[in-house]
Structure 1
Amino acid sequence: MLQYVGRSHRSRDGAKRLTEVVTRMSKLLGLPSGWICGIVNGSGTGACSMALQNFLGPRPVDTFISDSFAQYWANEIENLELAPQTRHLCAFGDFPDTNGIDPCHDIVLVLNGTSSGVCPANFDWISLNRTGLVIADAVSAAFTREIDFERIDVLCWSWQKALGGEGGHGMIALSPRAQARLEAGERKPVARLMKLHLPDGSVNAAFFEGRTISTPSMFAVEDILSALDWADACGGLPALLKRVADNYAAVAEWVSNTPWIEWVCKNSSVRSMCSITLRLTREQLPAGTRDDGEIISRMIRLLEDENAAFDIWSYGNAPPGFRIWAGPTIETDDLAALCQWLTWAYHATVGNNIASEAMTDRQTDLAQR
């Protein structure tokens, strides 16, 4: 039986390992000089809630409702009455208009929407001379896309999404501008688990040096350090971004050659490269088909029965379709095989069955796992 003999983060060894996580994560992500970083409970969700509750209030805030999680943050701002809010809306599968944003306002946005497959095309619309802060949910954007740190002030992400670490822990990083807001801000009530200040009102400097607010699992700490070892061995951030680009290219080629499937996000300039969201092309559905959701459901059940794919349903409140993670921990060959499996499942579902012997060697291998 495996026995863990490590100590908690209160011990010298535990504190050293937590500090190592902060240092190595900051380096891999490329945080600029002057930024500070800390470990948060509750994964990326906890980090985003911490950011909203600690920083919002002094100024109006603009939120960009590009996916389900952006909607969650807008609702939290409203429900907790954190700041006067303007919501910028758009159709599902697109990103809101970013013209005419007041640089005096705070901004809250999601850098990669996993439910819609949408992300901001760039950050050029965010003023370098702004007086407001930009709070970014980067849960699935960290290590999957380039981030312009000159136009972001508070960055939130998780251990598990792009690096494959254990769930339950996240990170929050602050620019010098965000640190200045924290130091000068009014001491409004914040839950203890979310508070970035000490009882005397001063900034909790120890938190940004690796000391967590609540004790994390040291198993999880060792797991994320192993994930960081893997990322470094791959070649660091440039290599992780290339893996994402290769994954996207493999799926994009299949979509372009498959008339019955299409992107949920038709605007390629705001399409996520790692959160693949697809739907059936209505014009290609069999005559008399009224519910594409039923076809999708049958296809996914077929793939699950064959042990070929799991958890590729579209997000709960998204239109029926497929949601496929194509982050850096995913192998391009596996995504290419999944595309073949989807083709098989589609034809089997709509009546043009493909005999099992027509499967490729790769499909057969996957089915036997």
Structure 2
Amino acid sequence: MTQKPSTRPADPRFSSGPTKKRPGWEPAALAGAPLGRTHRGGIPKARLAEALERTAAVLEIPDDYRVILTPASDTGALEGAMWSMLGARGVDVFACDEFGKRWLTDAKQELKLSDLRTFWADYGSAPDYRQADFDRDVIFTWNATASGVRIPDGDWIAPDRTGLTICDATSAAFAMDLPWDKLDVTTFSWQKCMGGEAQHGIAVLSPRARERLRDHRPSWPVPRVLQWFEAGEEDSKMFEGSTINTPSLLCTEDYIDALKWAEREGGVGRLVARTDANYAALAQWADGADWIDFLAADRAIRSHTSVTLKFSGADLSGRTEEERWAVSRAMGALLDLEGAAFDIIPHPKAPAGLRIWCGPTVDADDLAALGPWLDWAYGEALAGAGA
């Protein structure tokens, strides 16, 4: 049995969402939030506009793109895009985990699109994006948070497309290189790579996306919180911080604080580098462990943020999935009790194993210190399960 390590990670927060806050964060960072005031004018409105402006600056979004704030996190943002913009032409949906499957289900069962093609790959694999038809609207997830699979680049996206590309980038924005010229609608939330509080979503709209909002109205009723039509106007107040419903100014202040940290770090390039270094630190341990492996066998598509691992050793060979999940849960409980790692069991729909966040707010030293604790917890969990 592996001996309990003597050195713990300095910060045990490895949750895949909401994620760890930026290094050095303290509640005092929120002291300037204009609380108890309306979001429709004055300083609160300026704070909302500042959040959008800093988002565009940090992510190096093209000047002719626009950023809006949406309700209901990335889920609300992606559904706002679908409900407000689809129906003008056929749609292709690519999915490979529980979250991408939600967009597929919305298109099929809620919007009931008559001209719909769906492409599904099981956990740990990627769909064949080469089958995309860019005369149609194409919906895809850049980083599948629950399966640890990412899209490595945008080479497969046609530059001369006539349809829109709609990208769920919630575990990729601020941590991976996104080809903005290939993306027409890009959605994400504050609570992933930037460690912000939940509730709000962000959408980045290309000129072609705004043209769709201006010229097209779906045949179905669109709930108010999913209506983006105003963003089709060139002088839309949504680009200046006007919101569909009431935002949290406390959450906004927290997001601005994270964006200021990103600027101090050196911008999106530095955040991507931090993420890659974090992944490398964890991968060095995983490659040397004989009981665990990446859920995604193909290195090219492995996520560098939501790193998802599966049991691979002889100890659990032949065991049922529920027995394997019992080991996952036991490991999570042991590491939580020891203060060595919080929230590292996989998404409930994923295979048993581990899921460890390696986004830009995490430190590589903590991931290097985590490996021995995972070895210890696995041995303890096996012993407790009688394996």
Residue pair 2:34, 2:249 contacting (<8 A) in 1 also: no
State which of 41, 66, 74 in structure 1 corresponds to 2:71: 41
Counterpart-to-counterpart distance in 2, 1:202 and 1:100: 33
Q: Which amino acid aligns with 2:67?
A: C
Q: Does residue 1:280 correspond to 2:308, yes or no?
A: no
Q: Which runs of 5+ in 1 are unaligned?
A: 353-369
Partner of 2:297: 266
1:37-59 deviations in Å (ceiling 9; x for gaps): 11111111111010001111011
Partner of 1:117: 148
Partner of 1:30: 60
Q: Which amino acid aligns with 2:283?
A: A
Partner of 2:82: 52
Counterpart-to-counterpart distance in 1, 2:91 and 2:168: 15
Residue pair 2:340, 2:373 contacting (<8 A) in 1 also: yes
Counterpart-to-counterpart distance in 2, 1:60 and 1:331: 43
Partner of 1:69: 99
Partner of 2:374: 342
Does the residue aligned with 2:229 lie in a helix, a strand or coil? Answer: coil
Counterpart-to-counterpart distance in 2, 1:15 and 1:59: 36
- Offset, 1:203: 7.4
Question: What TM-score does the superposition give when structure 1 sets the normalisation length?
Answer: 0.89
State which of 89, 111, 116 in structure 1 corresponds to 2:120: 89
Residue pair 1:52, 1:82 contacting (<8 A) in 2 also: no
Counterpart-to-counterpart distance in 2, 1:213 and 1:195: 8
State which of 32, 50, 69 in structure 2 corresponds to 1:20: 50
Counterpart-to-counterpart distance in 2, 1:178 and 1:116: 29
Counterpart-to-counterpart distance in 1, 2:103 and 2:91: 11
1:135-176 deviations in Å (ceiling 9; x for gaps): 000111100100011111001011121111111111111101
Does the residue aligned with 1:143 lie in a helix, a strand or coil? Answer: coil
Residue pair 1:66, 1:119 contacting (<8 A) in 2 also: no
Q: Does residue 1:239 correspond to 2:270, yes or no?
A: yes
Counterpart-to-counterpart distance in 2, 1:214 and 1:205: 15
Higher relative contact order (CA 8 A, sep 6+): 2
- The number of residue pairs the alignment matches comes to 349
Residue pair 1:78, 1:85 contacting (<8 A) in 2 also: yes
Root-mean-square deviation (CA, aligned residues, Å) is: 2.1
- Offset, 1:342: 0.3
Residue pair 2:132, 2:138 contacting (<8 A) in 1 also: no
Residue pair 2:174, 2:193 contacting (<8 A) in 1 also: yes
Q: Which runs of 5+ in 2 are unaligned?
A: 1-27
Residue pair 1:103, 1:130 contacting (<8 A) in 2 also: yes
Partner of 1:10: 40
Q: Which amino acid aligns with 1:327?
A: G
Partner of 2:327: 295
Residue pair 1:183, 1:203 contacting (<8 A) in 2 also: no
Does the residue aligned with 2:380 lie in a helix, a strand or coil? Answer: helix
1:220-262 deviations in Å (ceiling 9; x for gaps): 1111111111111111111111110010000110111111110
Does the residue aligned with 2:297 lie in a helix, a strand or coil? Answer: coil
Q: Which amino acid aligns with 1:51?
A: A
Q: Which amino acid aligns with 1:330?
A: V
Residue pair 1:295, 1:349 contacting (<8 A) in 2 also: yes
Residue pair 2:149, 2:296 contacting (<8 A) in 1 also: yes
1:276-301 deviations in Å (ceiling 9; x for gaps): 101111x4216775532222222222
Counterpart-to-counterpart distance in 2, 1:350 and 1:218: 47
Shift in CA distance, 120/288, structure 1 to aligned 2, threshold 3 Å? closer
Q: Does residue 1:306 correspond to 2:335, yes or no?
A: no
Does the residue aligned with 1:277 lie in a helix, a strand or coil? Answer: strand
Partner of 1:331: 363
- Offset, 1:30: 1.2
Counterpart-to-counterpart distance in 2, 1:204 and 1:255: 51
Q: Does residue 1:158 correspond to 2:173, yes or no?
A: no
Residue pair 1:135, 1:154 contacting (<8 A) in 2 also: yes
State which of 238, 241, 246 in structure 2 corresponds to 1:210: 241
Partner of 2:9: none
Shift in CA distance, 100/4, structure 1 to aligned 2, threshold 3 Å? closer
Residue pair 1:144, 1:241 contacting (<8 A) in 2 also: yes
Shift in CA distance, 338/15, structure 1 to aligned 2, threshold 3 Å? same
Calculate percent identity across the aligned residue pairs: 37
Counterpart-to-counterpart distance in 2, 1:214 and 1:204: 19
- Offset, 1:351: 3.9
Q: Which amino acid aligns with 1:248?
A: Y
Residue pair 1:182, 1:203 contacting (<8 A) in 2 also: no
Shift in CA distance, 273/287, structure 1 to aligned 2, threshold 3 Å? closer
Q: Does residue 1:322 correspond to 2:354, yes or no?
A: yes
Instruction: Between 299-308 and 150-159, report the one with greater CA deviation.
Output: 299-308
Partner of 1:105: 136
Residue pair 1:144, 1:240 contacting (<8 A) in 2 also: yes
Counterpart-to-counterpart distance in 2, 1:97 and 1:321: 25
Counterpart-to-counterpart distance in 1, 2:215 and 2:164: 13
Residue pair 1:8, 1:218 contacting (<8 A) in 2 also: no
Q: Which amino acid aligns with 2:71?
A: N
Q: Which amino acid aligns with 1:326?
A: C
Shift in CA distance, 190/289, structure 1 to aligned 2, threshold 3 Å? closer
Shift in CA distance, 204/79, structure 1 to aligned 2, threshold 3 Å? farther
